[in-house]
Amino acid sequence: MAHLLAFFQFLFLFLDVGSAGPLLPCPWGLAPRPYLPERHQCGADGHRRRRRGWGGLLRKKEDSTGFLKSSFVGAITLGTPPQDFRVIFDTGSANLWVPSASCEHAGDKTCLKKKNRYNSSLSSTFEEIGSKFVIKYGSGALYGYLSKETIGLGEELTVPGQVFAEATDDPDGVFALTDFDGIFGLGYSGIAMHDVTPILYNMKRQQLVPRKAFSMYVHKIKGSSYGRVFWGGSNRAYYHPPLTYVNVLTKGYFNVTMDQIEIAGHDEPFCMDNCYAIVDSGTSLIGGPKPIIRRINKLLGAESAEYGEYMVDCKAVPVLPDVEITFGGKTFGLNSGQYILRVKNEDGEWVCLTAFMALDLSGANILNWVIGDIFLAHFYVEYDLDSHKVGFAYKKDPA
């Protein structure tokens, strides 16, 4: 069916760190991040490998998921009649997977039994593939097999014949206690595992959208957040035009040039030449080279804590300067209320952390920054896989 609109809008929920209780310790990604060295990946216990990142600030609760609750989470359906799932919209991966009802193991964690689980026997549009599927992360992996099904994205858009993974075994229990069911990868086909065609490519092939593009918008109101994904392009009603575009440098992750990052009022640029960054909605924080992150936090009055996080006096937060990030010659500023995370420590006391974390990316080609949700949630961002560009604009909240 030919597309009738330039885009389809799709509602999602943005889970915000500030309203989610205790800070959880795996900031870098909800899916495996091959661009990160192994020491930054999440291990079998849901924490960063080798060091139990932020463990000193985590309340040791049974339901700890190991992930920061700052995520683009939305509802999709699979099958006919539709079966409901909550997934992370993740620009840092390119596969769709959800838990499967066909798990053969007895354990709740390994089978993801507390999740919504896809049951192929209940769907008239299921097509069997059966090839094995595995996603490796940290010191473990998620196992399953490939199937084909109709995917529903809201009331307006269905994508038939989409290959996805039925997850049958989470041996380390990393995903068992998260508040989402699966992951909806939105990256380029070059990073799709097992040569699966990503869903956005199928949308374009089936003429459901005019181009392989989508955009994300988050609106915060009365202590909660919701958002929209616009499939096929952008909706000018939700941003102040124009979009400022930067070219994607490699057709895998959304790896772009970042002109500059500065602290307002300090004449000290941190990109002497161009910096390079991956724009990643599956990552929560902003990561950069260790010496620069150390300097930024020092200028913000933050002190390094035991596990690499940086803490500031909560009383000082209102007077902290903006942090400005420049893409394509246009500067986008974050105020202190946006880049400071207010969380409870293991004693139930409120503490304030900055969103700037060090990455030791030696040998990681040209990458030296990761721009995650703490930035992306405050701006309108378009991802264009046809023109190979990422566009940024100040968002326009509805009246």
Query: Which residues touch 195 (CB under 8 Å, ≥6 apart)?
Result: none
From CA 90, how far away is CA 31, in angstroms rounded?
8
The pLDDT tens digits of the residues spanning 250-283 come to 888 999 999 999 999 998 889 877 799 999 998 8
Give the closest residue to 65 by CA, choosing from 27, 36, 103: 27
From CA 327, how far away is CA 151, in angstroms rounded?
34
3-class secondary structure, 51: coil
Q: Is 191 a residue whose pLDDT tops 70?
A: yes
Mean pLDDT calculated for residue range 382-390: 98
The domain spans of the chain are: 14-216, 237-393
How does strand 380-384 pair with strand 340-344? unpaired
More confident residue, 350 or 307: 350
Phi, psi of 225 (to 5 degrees): -135, 145
Q: 41: pLDDT confidence band, cut at 50, 70 and 90?
A: low
Q: Which of 108-117, 154-163, 186-195, 369-378 has the lowest mean pLDDT?
A: 108-117
One-character DSSP codes across 163-222:
EEEEEEE-TT-TTTTSSSSEEEE-S-GGG-GGGPPPHHHHHHHTTSSSSSEEEEEEEEET
From CA 113, how far away is CA 109, in angstroms rounded?
7
Give the closest residue to 167 by CA, choosing from 91, 78, 284, 48: 78
Task: Report pLDDT for 2.
Answer: 36
Active site residues: 90, 280
Question: What rounded mean pLDDT belongs to the chain?
Answer: 80
From CA 355, how far away is CA 341, in angstroms rounded?
7
* N-term to C-term CA, the chain: 34
Mean pLDDT calculated for residue range 301-317: 89
Q: What six digits make up the tokens of 24? A: 């959880």
Task: Report pLDDT for 137.
Answer: 61
Q: CB–CB of 307/292 below 8 Å?
A: no
Task: Report pLDDT for 170.
Answer: 84
Query: Which residues touch 291 (CB under 8 Å, ≥6 apart)?
Result: none
Type of residue numbered 110: T
Provide the CATH topology of domain 237-393: Cathepsin D, subunit A; domain 1 (2.40.70)
Judge if the upstream peptide bond of residue 81 is cis by omega within 30 degrees of 0: yes
The pLDDT tens digits of the residues spanning 67-91 come to 334 568 888 999 999 999 999 889 9
Query: Which residues touch 309 (CB under 8 Å, ≥6 apart)?
Result: 53, 54, 57, 353, 357
Q: 312: pLDDT confidence band, cut at 50, 70 and 90?
A: very high
| 187-208 burial: b if 16+ Cβ within 10 Å, else e | bbbebbbeebebbbbbbbebeb
Phi, psi of 17 (to 5 degrees): -55, -45
Which parts of 27-166 fold into alpha helices (H)? 108-111
User: pTM of the predicted model, to two decimals?
Assistant: 0.86
From CA 327, how far away is CA 243, in angstroms rounded?
11
From CA 24, how far away is CA 344, in angstroms rounded?
10
Task: Report pLDDT for 21.
Answer: 32
Q: Which of 15-19, 134-138, 230-234, 270-274 has the lowest mean pLDDT?
A: 15-19
3-class secondary structure, 71: strand
Cα atoms found within 13 Å of the Cα of residue 373, Cβ hemisphere only: 30
The CATH architecture one would assign to domain 14-216 is Beta Barrel (2.40)
Task: Report pLDDT for 24.
Answer: 37
